[in-house]
Amino acid sequence: MKTSELVPSLSKSELALFERLDPKRLPRHVAVIMDGNGRWAQRRHLPRVEGHRRGVAAARETIETCARLGIGALTLYAFSAENWRRPKAEVDFLMRLLREYLRRELPVIHKNNIRLSVIGRAEELPRAVREDIERGMKLTAANSGMRLVVALNYGARTELVDAFNAVLEETRAGASNGELAGLRVTEQMISDHLYTAGLPDPDLLIRTSGEQRVSNFLLWQIAYAEIHVTDVLWPDFNRARLLEALLDFQGRERRYGGIEPASSN
Ligand code: IPE
Ligand code: IPE
Ligand code: MG
């Protein structure tokens, strides 16, 4: 997808926001906590699931806009490892919605050169969901455009536990007892074994619905992410709100512990 395809479709107010963006200083990786579907529905006296349905449209618009802007990676928090605590009917609905989304949107994702991947404990998801995900990942594996990462049954603490265990397993397999006794874990070893291995850390974390918390999302990776919290509920999050988040990001001074702004972003 190209920015040139984005511009003609922008409304006047979106264009005004877009023109303020510096195309050279876009985040390489945007991560989003898509929150507030239930409240959106509640305010309209609709069932919570209606909010989830509308949330899918917001996700589609965000994916399309990020891809057209040339953002390298977009990670969407779709279902947390803690979301199983919800009523079974809601969980079942979310799984159905995800399958519906994948079936409908996969051709579009593929056509736009987007590469799909999933982070989280996929093995605990219903088999039908797993199969749809695998099909999507296979189909788009060779695509060279934006990385679309869907966090499903994802929890950051679980991810860290899985990473440490993977490091241990690999070392046990290849090392003698003496080497094991001297084993030291490094930052690089940890990041290389996270579900997100190979992706740059998010530069920008967006959370909708005003909640000032990270809810067990990418704890390691967001160490130096800029955080944009908006009161907008996820189903109302659209292109203009995304452009505002990107402008907010570009207005930040990133120092990484130093005293001068870092040269990039
Ligand atoms: C986010 O919306 C979607 C998921 C967590 C799956 P919520 O369902 O959490 O909506 P609120 O927070 O109850 O409004
Ligand atoms: C975070 O939202 C998870 C997703 C957006 C998938 P929650 O609604 O589950 O988070 P809490 O419970 O408000 O922290
Ligand atoms: Mg919520």
161 in a structural domain: no
Is ligand 2 within 6 A of the CB of residue 134?
no
100 in a structural domain: yes
Which pLDDT tens digits describe the chain residue by residue (265 residues)? 567 778 889 999 999 999 999 999 999 999 999 999 999 999 999 999 999 999 999 999 999 999 999 999 999 999 999 999 999 999 999 999 999 999 999 999 999 999 999 999 999 999 999 999 999 999 999 999 999 999 999 999 999 999 999 999 988 887 777 777 788 899 999 999 999 999 999 999 999 999 999 999 999 999 999 999 999 999 999 999 999 999 999 999 999 999 999 875 5
- The ligand placed nearest to the CA atom of residue 38 is 1
Is ligand 1 within 6 A of the CB of residue 38?
yes
Residue 200 per-residue DSSP state? P
220 in a structural domain: yes
| Assessment of whether the complete model's pTM goes beyond 0.85 | yes
191 in a structural domain: no
Contact in structure between 64 and 110 (CB atoms under 8 Å):
no
Would you call 138 helix, strand, or coil by DSSP?
helix
Is ligand 2 within 6 A of the CB of residue 111?
no
Q: How far is CA 201 from CA 21, 78, 197, 204, 234, in A?
A: 21, 18, 9, 9, 23
- Tell me how far the alpha carbon of residue 36 lies from the centroid of ligand 3, in angstroms: 5
257 in a structural domain: no
34 in a structural domain: yes
- Tell me how far the alpha carbon of residue 233 lies from the centroid of ligand 3, in angstroms: 10
- Tell me how far the alpha carbon of residue 37 lies from the centroid of ligand 3, in angstroms: 7
Contact in structure between 120 and 47 (CB atoms under 8 Å):
no
Q: How many domains does the chain have?
A: 1
Q: Which of 242, 265, 245 shows the shortest CA–CA distance to 255?
A: 265
- Closest ligand 2 atom to residue 35 Cα is 5
Contact in structure between 156 and 79 (CB atoms under 8 Å):
no
Task: For ligand 2, pick from 42, 79, 150, 215 the residue to mutate: most ligand atoms within 8 Å of CB.
Answer: 215
CATH for 118: 3.40.1180.10
| Polymer length in residues for the chain | 265
Print the domain residue range for 213: 27-155+201-250
- Tell me how far the alpha carbon of residue 204 lies from the centroid of ligand 3, in angstroms: 20
Catalytic residues: 35, 83
Rama region for 218: left / alpha / beta (φ>0; ψ in -120 to 50; rest): left
64 in a structural domain: yes
- Residue 256 — φ and ψ, nearest 5°? 50, 40
125 in a structural domain: yes
